[in-house]
Amino acid sequence: MAYRFSKKDFENAEFVIKQELIDPLTRETLFTKGLYWILSGSENHKKQTEIYNNLISKFNTPESILANKQEVHDIVKKARFPNRKEKFISGFSEFYIESDLSERILKDAYNGRQRGFELREELVKEAPGLGYKCGSGLLESCGYDYLVPVDIWVLRFLEDCGYEIKMPDYKTVGGITKKEYLKYEETISDMAKKYKVSPVVLQAAIWLEGSGGGVYYQTTFNDF
């Protein structure tokens, strides 16, 4: 069995995606969105947003983050796994000052977004706190609609659809492997073609429905 989405579900998903887009897209706003995605890990979305807004209202540049570590600590300590996230935020800030990757992301984002997979690999390798899910999310926020943030809702959705999924146990073994991630992303991308929407729209619809934003209608996938 798989789940059937209504036209309204996809409209809601498109609205959410538009709300997450970085506008205007600059080196400065790309940095703060990176903080947003670092804070997203294993976090309730409402709480994540509150901590993020509090953080960037005071410190919205890598230099200000690094110059005010105690105050950043006092804000981030309210998050889940605060020590790890604080470390990632500090490391990401140092990376952002030293690296030219942000400039290359901006250049590609304004010129057709052709290098998304390549740029994501660089983010995963170089940017502290940005694995495949968060790296995909950051680039999705730049308008890359083919990079899928494979989160717990996507994994549960695929499992409910009958796929053999290795559910992560974040307390003991961490998240899914790169091979698993890319496999699940490809599956969602293939499904999205049948639904005639972009991969990120399908992912957003799954997130909205799975997190309580609506009701799934079970049907065979080919009936859509």
- Domain map of the chain by residue range? 2-16+148-215+218-222, 24-140
> What are the Cα distances from residue 183, in Å, to 64, 79, 135, 198?
39, 30, 16, 17
Residue in the structure block whose two tokens are 């670092």: 38
- Where does the pLDDT of residue 172 fall: very low under 50, low under 70, confident under 90, or very high at 90 and above? low
Give the pLDDT of residue 32.
98
Q: What is the mean pLDDT of the chain?
A: 91
Using alpha carbons, select from 27, 24, 26, 33 the residue that is nearest to residue 137.
33
- Where does the pLDDT of residue 39 fall: very low under 50, low under 70, confident under 90, or very high at 90 and above? very high
Q: Per residue in 91-138, pLDDT tens? A: 999 999 999 999 999 999 999 999 999 999 999 999 999 999 999 999
Domain 24-140 has CATH 1.10.340.30: yes
- Where does the pLDDT of residue 145 fall: very low under 50, low under 70, confident under 90, or very high at 90 and above? very high
E strand segments, 9-81: none
E strand segments, the chain: 2-4, 217-219
Beta strands 2-4; 217-219: pairing state: antiparallel
Q: What is the average per-residue pLDDT within 188-196?
A: 97
> What are the Cα distances from residue 61, in Å, to 57, 127, 219?
11, 16, 48
Give the pLDDT of residue 193.
97
